[in-house]
Structures are given as C-alpha cells and as structure tokens.
C-alpha cells in the first residue's frame, strides 16, 4: 500500500501513460510518477502536490507552484529516506532527483500545451 502520484497533460499519449506503470518505483519522476509507501512520516508527496489530496484526488497544479515547493519537498524526501529507510547519500539523491524530474516534466508539458498539468493522487 502506498501513495501513487501521476502527472497528466493535454495530448498525453498511451505510451506516455503506460510509462508511468513502473512497479512502484520511487525514482520514476521523469515519466510523471512519484511513489511513497505507508511506512511513516514525513510524506513529501502530501506537501509537494497537496491540492491533489482532495475528495476527487485530482488537481491542476502550475509548474511554478511545484518549482516553489521543490526545495522543501527535497528536504522532506531526505528526512524520510534517512529516518525511515536508513538510506545512503546516493539513495537519497536518487529519490530527490525523482521530484526534480517530476517538476521539470510538469514545466515542459505546461509550456508545450499552454496549460498546467493535472496531478492525480491515488492513496
């Protein structure tokens, strides 16, 4: 069980959607997927894409908002990886990179489509 976050955008292809099915990888931000297991707090996803944790589990979030939240989200990722999983510095950097890649993809797709991406939270 865990938290799965998916990025959707206008004109998203079937192949792009399929790429998000990663077997619960925590390092798949580059395809628009973030994952956290229910092993304890802090939950970086709940901070990073908080609007998606509503009754419908969907929210349009501007890339500028993700960019603004990214530094704090990266701190939360590091804290989580260190305290819950006793992760190495390399593992922490890999997990953080996923958030950076997710935000980068959101920005690219927003520029490409002219509209913010939709973030879907499944939890």
Rounded Cα–Cα distance for residues 91 and 27 (Å): 10
Range of the structural domain that residue 93 is part of: 2-122
**Chain centroid, CA 96 distance in Å:** 10
Note the pLDDT of residue 89. 97
Sheet arrangement for strand 33-37: 33-37, 2-8, 117-122, 58-61
Rounded Cα–Cα distance for residues 58 and 55 (Å): 8
- Per-residue pLDDT at 17 exceeds 90: yes
Note the pLDDT of residue 56. 86
User: Per the structure, how many domains does the chain have?
Assistant: 1
Read off the pLDDT band of 113 (50, 70, 90): very high
Q: Which residues contact 30 (CB under 8 A, 6 or more apart)?
A: 98, 101, 102, 104, 105
Read off the pLDDT band of 65 (50, 70, 90): very high
DSSP 59: E
Read off the pLDDT band of 12 (50, 70, 90): very high
Rounded Cα–Cα distance for residues 102 and 25 (Å): 13
């Amino acid at each position: 069980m865990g938290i799965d976050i998916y990025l959707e955008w206008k004109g998203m292809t079937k192949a792009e959607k399929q790429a998000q099915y990663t077997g619960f990888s925590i390092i798949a931000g580059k395809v628009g997927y973030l994952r956290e297991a229910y092993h304890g707090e802090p939950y970086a996803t709940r901070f990073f894409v908080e609007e998606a944790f509503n009754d419908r589990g969907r929210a349009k979030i501007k890339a500028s908002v993700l960019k603004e939240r990214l530094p704090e989200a990266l701190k939360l990722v590091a804290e989580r990886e260190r305290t819950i999983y006793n992760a190495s510095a390399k593992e922490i950097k890999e997990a953080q990179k996923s958030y950076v890649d997710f935000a980068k993809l959101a920005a690219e797709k927003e520029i490409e489509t002219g509209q913010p991406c939709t973030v879907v939270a499944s939890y």
